[in-house]
Amino acid sequence: MAVLSYKENTLLALQHKEPEFLPMITDVQTYTPLGMDFVCEYTNIPGVAKDWFGQSWTYEPKIKAANPTPGIHLVPDITRWKEYMKFPDLSKLDWEGHAAVDTKDWDRIHKLTRINDVFGPWERMFSVMEFQEALCALIEEPEACYDFFGAVADHKIRMYEYIIKYYKPDILCMHDDYGHGKGMFMSPDTWRALLKPHLQRIIDMVTSMGVLYEHHCCGYFAPILDEIADMGCTASNTMHVSNHPAECKKKNGHKMCYIGGFDTQYMDGLCISEEDIRRSVRKTLDEMAPGGSYIALFALKTPGRNAVVADEIKSYSGRFYSRPRPDAL
């Protein structure tokens, strides 16, 4: 019997079914359309530069990424955000030309294609404000926050229309972190009142164009996870262990695919042996892999450890499905 392609196999998991072998996020072609001369949701180049909203970013060599420049925040007062925040005219960008270059090597026959976009409405807010000021604004100025989130959602919808038209991805993943390692940044009710309506508009627009919507949240958001699944979200990424991913998957894995779920902080620990890493991988797979609707995702910082995780996934995951992961397809 012929082995399914990465595309066919991953699609089964995204359809909340059992795949032929364990899918990994690397089985999907992912592209993040960022660049100073094109999409500039933030800057990620050495030095200090401004994004197309006007926020200054400083590149941090140690983490190989940029953060908002300390002490420089575009919006000092959320009630006056319209005075400071400038949205780009997306119609002036050469979407067709850039897409032709960016997608020329995409293998659409054997792999799904995925656009990875950063800074949803909440992340945009705390990138242009002091983080503690953004948290206070949610309580003190909810109407201004609602309007701000709505404007960012409008921008995202316009941008996604262009991306879907010219890049033609199978999946669109938006990042919007609603929590940290131990709790949410806001109450579930605050999220429902201020952010949920705008997220729903984004999901509706993406799925109406025949594209699967994936939501990235690094931290804890278990109290609203079932609602996000009901909003039409196909997959949840990265499923921090604080969410108790196995319990969440038992509850709604029939309507949302889970991506990740590994205890990466533990596996990146200082006194962790190779066997400790392998044992942790097996524990996660025992909890998450059965029944499908799951895609493996991990990213460790310690040199050499990603290879250990990948090797254990390959050697252990075959027991859950009809065949082990192939070396290559």
Tens of pLDDT along the chain (329 residues)? Answer: 568 999 999 999 999 999 999 999 999 999 987 655 678 898 888 899 999 999 999 999 988 889 999 999 999 999 999 999 999 999 999 999 999 999 999 999 999 999 999 899 999 999 999 999 999 999 999 999 999 999 999 999 999 999 999 999 999 999 999 999 999 999 999 999 999 999 999 999 999 999 999 999 989 999 999 999 999 999 999 899 999 999 999 999 999 999 999 999 999 999 999 999 999 999 999 999 999 999 999 999 999 999 999 999 999 999 999 999 987 76
Give 161's contacts (C-beta < 8 A, 6+ positions apart): 205, 209
- The continuous run of DSSP H or E covering 246 comes out as helix 245-252
In sequence order, the 6+-apart residues with CB closer than 8 A to the CB of 190 are 138, 139, 142
Q: Is residue 66 part of a domain?
A: no
Closest alpha carbon to 46 in 65, 59, 56? 59
Report yes or no on 33 lying in a domain: yes
Residue 43 included in any domain: no
pLDDT at 231: 98
Would the CA dihedral through 210, 179, 305, 281 be positive or negative?
A: negative
Identify the CA nearest to 192 among candidates 182, 180, 200.
200
Alpha-carbon distance 157 to 237, whole Å? Answer: 20
Global pTM value = 0.96
Domain ranges, residue 212: 6-37+80-320
DSSP 56-94: EEEEETTTTEEEEPTT--S-S-GGGHHHH-----GGGS-
pLDDT score recorded for residue 33: 74
Note whether residue 69 is domain-resident.
Answer: no
Per-residue pLDDT, 177: 97
Q: What is the phi/psi pair of residue 236, to 5°?
A: -115, 130
Residue 167 lies in a domain: yes
Query: How many domains does the chain fold into?
Result: 1
pLDDT confidence of residue 142 = 98
Residue 10 CB burial class (10 angstroms; 0-12, 13-18, ≥19) = buried
Which DSSP helix (H) or strand (E) runs through 288?
helix 274-288
CA gyration radius, the chain: 20
CATH number of the domain that residue 311 is part of: 3.20.20.210
